[in-house]
Amino acid sequence: MAAHFKSIGVPYRPRYLPESALYQIFVKDPNGIMIELNFFGVEDISEWADEDVENYTTMPRGET
């Protein structure tokens, strides 16, 4: 998916949340509206992601 956006020159922001097996892609439509694409059940992101993916494994957690 990321490779497709790259190949057509569309800016996007990927994010992976391993605790939820959730891969997300954020992309703007031609009117500038942000679209969030969610892919559930993604355990291995090697076919999905590139080096720019935000991996939330290392994200600091707030206290609850």
pTM of the model: 0.75
Could you report the per-residue pLDDT of 17-63, keeping only the tens digit for each? 888 899 999 999 999 999 999 999 988 887 776 666 776 666 666 77
**Amino acid, single-letter form, for residue 39:** F
Q: Which two tokens stand for residue 21?
A: 């097996």
Residue-range domains of the chain with CATH? 2-45 (3.30.720)
> What is the number of other CB atoms lying within 10 angstroms of the CB of residue 23?
24
Which one, of 60, 47, 52, 61, lies nearest residue 15 by Cα?
A: 52
